[in-house]
Structure 1
Amino acid sequence: MPDGTSSSPAASAANPHGTSAEAADALLTPREAEVARLYKARWAASAIADKLGISISAVYDYASKARRKGIDLPLQDMPGAPRKLDWRAVTQLARDGVVQKQIAASLGITERAVSKILHAQRQAGVNVPAKPRRGPAPTVDYEAVKALYLDPLTLPTREIARRLGCKEATVHDALNAMRAQGEHIPYRCRTKAAIAALPQKVEAPTVVDPVPTRLCMCCRKPADIVDPPRWFVCTDCKERDGAPIITRRAA
């Protein structure tokens, strides 16, 4: 029967303030001790879950149990909150072309924390790539793509991508790049083939009409006499009818 002088593990757990750090560590299970160690090392909950092969909710549960047993762990929603020490490493890895997911895995922080660090660095004027999430542009052998595309079996682009171990969009990009370089690679789409078969639009030379042709007010022939101003008449009408015809037509 327990008395007031004896202490049990349950009593120590119920009174964590009266328990030393060594005694509190002794109360932890191996899994709780491992989670607490990684928590103190500022690992993200997702990284701890991946390392131990458990769920994120289980990580939070083990951390909560460790706190109740007297372990001093940081109380925050994201255990992998970035430290100032990690900023230089994150920036250098981003400059080296490493994607954010790999940066987070190598430093033991969340991908969101990496994104926040890079955003803060850009706001501070540090030269950081604008889109570090993207890796290097995918490359593919153009000659292999061309050979498979022009094969008599008429392989679809999806099958070409599967054989070359790349994405279908990479195959289309390679075909368009070869067409831009002058390679004769026909389109399989009827609409695109018809558009490509159309003659190239040639701009006609611009011909400037020096003087617009004026017509006679009587016979509608080209006029060569202006008398009075803005009244046009040809020589024949001028010699036959005289000046009054112009006045009469104008009236």
Structure 2
Amino acid sequence: MAEHKNILFNLTLIKKRTLSPQKSDILNAFACEDTENAAFQIDYYCPPLTEKEEAENYLWMVWDLLIDIISSPDVTSEIHEHFVSILQNLQQIGKGDLLVWTGERRVWRDMPLFPQCMEVSFNDPMDEEVGFTPESAQIWRNINSFAARCMNTGTLGPYTQVVDALREALEEELDTDHDLAKAECRMQVPCEWMIHGAKPLLWWARENIGYANVAEDETQYFPGGSLYKGTPAVCLQRWGFWQTRFEELGKDPVLTKRFRRRRSRRPRP
């Protein structure tokens, strides 16, 4: 099959889909080089908000396509940056309010239903139900990388997923003896969060200065792994622990040079 001139159509996860004319229009809008124009086109195709069901279905369609694009195993960093910019431009468009199952939301400022679509797309390949393959591992890294970029720009976040990723990789013993590929995948995900979202994560930690006893029913409660004995919240104590563990694991001779290069790109806010 000949490649499509719109590179988004050639991405692995998009090629697996059956595309309706409406979905093709959305993909062509996404591909606009000018991200402000892309956002205007996405808004233009959206049904009037008075047609609630049609508008809500359109939002699901837009977010579903976007997530397949940004998580596709062959997506590039440039495409990620392009879509972050589209989202930022979309948020500047005031279309009106829409009542969805999460409550009344502003279109497009509140990105209605996008957080929920992202939430259900975090499929850890280490889970048996997902299955670990090179493709599922790359999809996992890509969606975390994009989420980190969104958190960095304030488009979405903060995420419970970033704490989960850091806890699994840094607060538990890393098994490099039995399956190095899984161990490195486990480590590469928090690297993406630190590379693209370290500053808002640090701000989050600073907001919790003074936290000592955090009840399990509090929104800031995040239980620690077996190696972390500090406050169960995103706080400076935990931030320091993560930095120390990154340094320790960066010296592990078993982990490949590729991981160590990735780790070295972490900013130090």
Q: TM-score band, normalised by the shorter chain?
A: under 0.3
Greater helix share, structure number: 2
Structure with higher Rg: it is 1
- Superposition TM-score, scaled by structure 1 size: 0.24
Q: Greater RCO between the two (CA within 8 Å, min separation 6)?
A: 2
- Superposition TM-score, scaled by structure 2 size: 0.23
